[in-house]
């Protein structure tokens, strides 16, 4: 039995993939009312058309779910991990994290949060993977990273379907930082869409975002090549261009003149890029590292800077060599 914590869109979709691979799943649903509805209809409350197989069971008792399962997939948004797991014992458990972001209050990555809770093993699964497409069995490729490559390969081999291919990696830091930053860059991509949807500008943004995420990752000793792979370029492209991107949607609505509080209040799911932009901004100040795109997104979100002013500031920055961040 494999646990999935969180029955939102991604938790629901990954439950389907795990069960389709021949595994029994225990899906934790926070609200008892929703759990009862799922037990009755066996249909996702977040993804239209997603039907849960009989291999998937539901529970609202987090302690019992964790005690019963050795492998736990976390789909709880990063800003709520500490609160949700505060009374749990993760000793002898393998955590596979699906959420992308950095905790605002501590600037910790998910791996740091879970390891402080005594998780015995940790892996992070990331890459270009809209839950809406995964639930429809559309071919998808992702990467799972663990400091112990054996753990990464073990998690990789849980999946045994022809529509969801998983690669393994040992770069947890790079995989987590790429996943966190791409959501911030997606807000910038949405702003471009809201201002006119310019192809030249979007292409430049994506390219320079790769440089920026690589620069931050190398400061924390991540593998430079991770940012060229599924967790980096792959996830960045789909989040900056796809119609399902919540963070791109936030940016587009900002450029169309909506207030951030109103945008977020009207969303059913969490846009992780909004709080993550605050965390990335704090890291840039703490580490004294220049992250121009992330900084401008932060100022638009939190300092009432207009999207037009943010773009203009980026275009008027000091001229630089293109690959000034390279390690060699």
3-state secondary structure the chain: CEEEECCCHHHHHHHHHHHHCCCCEEEECCCHHHHHHHHHHCECCCCCCCECCCCEEEECCHHHHHHHCCEEEECCCHHHHHHHCCCCCCCCCEEEECCCCCCCCCCCCHHHHHHHCCCCEEEEEECCCCHHHHCCCCCEEEEEECCCHHHHHHHHCCCCECCEEEEEECCHHHHHHHHHHHHHHHHHHHHHHHHCCCHHHHHHHHHHHHHHHHHHHHHCCCCHHHHHCHHHHHHHHHHHHCCCCHHHHHHHHHHCCCCHHHHHHCCCCCCCHHHHHHHHHHHHHHHCCCCHHHHHHHHHHHCCCCHHHHHHHHHCCCCCCCCCCCCC
pLDDT at 194: 96
- Say if CB 88 and CB 66 are below 8 A apart: yes
Average pLDDT over residues 212-240: 97
Position 325 confidence tier, pLDDT thresholds 50, 70, 90:
low
Residue ranges covered by each domain of the chain: 2-170, 181-315
In whole angstroms, how far apart are CA 182 and each of 51, 115, 324? Answer: 30, 24, 20
Quick one: pLDDT band at residue 123, thresholds 50, 70, 90? very high
pLDDT cut 70: percent of the chain above it: 98
Residue among 93, 108, 121, 182 flagged as catalytic: 182
For CA atoms 108, 110, 114, 119, give the dihedral sign.
negative
User: pTM for the complete prediction?
Assistant: 0.94
pLDDT attached to residue 14: 98
pLDDT tens figures, 274-306: 999 999 999 999 999 999 999 999 999 999 999
pLDDT score for 278: 96
Residue 140 main-chain phi, psi, to 5 deg:
-140, 140
Give the integer Cα–Cα distance in Å for 23 and 20. 7
Confidence of residue 20 (pLDDT cuts 50, 70, 90): very high
pLDDT digits (tens, 9 = 90+) for 42-72: 999 899 999 999 999 999 999 999 999 999 9
Q: How confident is the model at residue 269 (pLDDT cuts 50, 70, 90)?
A: confident
Q: What is the mean pLDDT of the chain?
A: 95
pLDDT reading at 133 higher than 70: yes
The pLDDT score that the predictor gives to residue 324 is 56
Report the pLDDT value the prediction gives residue 322, as an integer from 0 to 100: 85
Active site residue 182: yes
pLDDT at 320: 86
pLDDT on residue 321: 86
Mean pLDDT lowest among 20-29, 182-191, 194-203, 268-277: 268-277
What does each C-alpha distance from 184 to 115, 178, 224, 251 come to in angstroms? 25, 10, 19, 9
Q: How confident is the model at residue 328 (pLDDT cuts 50, 70, 90)?
A: very low
CA 60, CA 105: separation in Å to the nearest integer?
27
CB of 267 closer than 8 Å to CB of 94 = no
Instruction: Give the number of C-alpha atoms closer than 13 A to the C-alpha of residue 67, restricted to the C-beta side.
Output: 7
Q: Which pLDDT belongs to residue 51? A: 96
Where does the pLDDT of residue 323 fall: very low under 50, low under 70, confident under 90, or very high at 90 and above? confident
- Does the domain at 2-170 match CATH 3.30.2090.10? Answer given as no
Q: What is the CATH number of domain 181-315?
A: 1.10.1040.10
């Amino acid at each position: 039995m494999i646990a999935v914590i969180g029955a939102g869109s991604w938790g629901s979709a990954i439950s389907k993939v795990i069960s389709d691979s021949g595994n029994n799943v225990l899906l934790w649903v926070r609200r008892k009312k929703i759990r009862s509805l799922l037990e009755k209809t066996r249909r996702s409350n977040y993804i239209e058309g997603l039907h849960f197989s009989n291999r998937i069971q539901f529970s609202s008792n987090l302690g019992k779910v964790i005690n019963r399962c050795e492998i736990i997939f976390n789909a709880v948004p990063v800003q709520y991990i500490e609160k949700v797991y505060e009374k749990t014992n993760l000793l002898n458990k393998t955590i596979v994290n699906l959420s992308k972001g950095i905790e605002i209050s501590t600037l910790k990555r998910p791996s740091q949060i879970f390891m402080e809770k005594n998780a015995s093993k940790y892996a992070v699964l990331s890459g270009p993977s809209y839950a809406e497409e995964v639930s429809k069995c559309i071919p998808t490729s992702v990467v799972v990273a663990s400091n112990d490559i054996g753990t990464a390969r073990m998690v990789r081999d849980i999946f045994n379907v022809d529509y969801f291919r998983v690669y393994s990696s040992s770069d947890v830091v790079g995989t987590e930082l790429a996943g966190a930053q791409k959501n911030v860059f997606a807000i910038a991509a949405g702003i471009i869409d809201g201002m006119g949807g310019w192809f030249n500008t979007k292409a430049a943004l994506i390219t320079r975002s790769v440089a920026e995420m690589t620069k931050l990752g190398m400061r924390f000793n991540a593998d430079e090549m991770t940012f060229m792979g599924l967790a980096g370029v792959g996830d960045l492209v789909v989040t900056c261009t796809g119609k399902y991107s919540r963070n791109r949607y936030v940016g587009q609505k900002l450029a169309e003149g909506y207030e951030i509080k109103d945008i977020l209040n009207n969303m059913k799911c969490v846009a992780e890029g909004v709080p993550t932009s605050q965390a990335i901004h704090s890291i840039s100040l703490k580490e004294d590292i220049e992250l121009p795109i992330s900084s401008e997104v932060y100022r638009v979100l939190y300092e009432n800077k207009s999207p037009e002013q943010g773009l203009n500031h980026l275009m008027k920055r000091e001229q630089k060599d293109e690959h000034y961040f390279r390690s060699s």
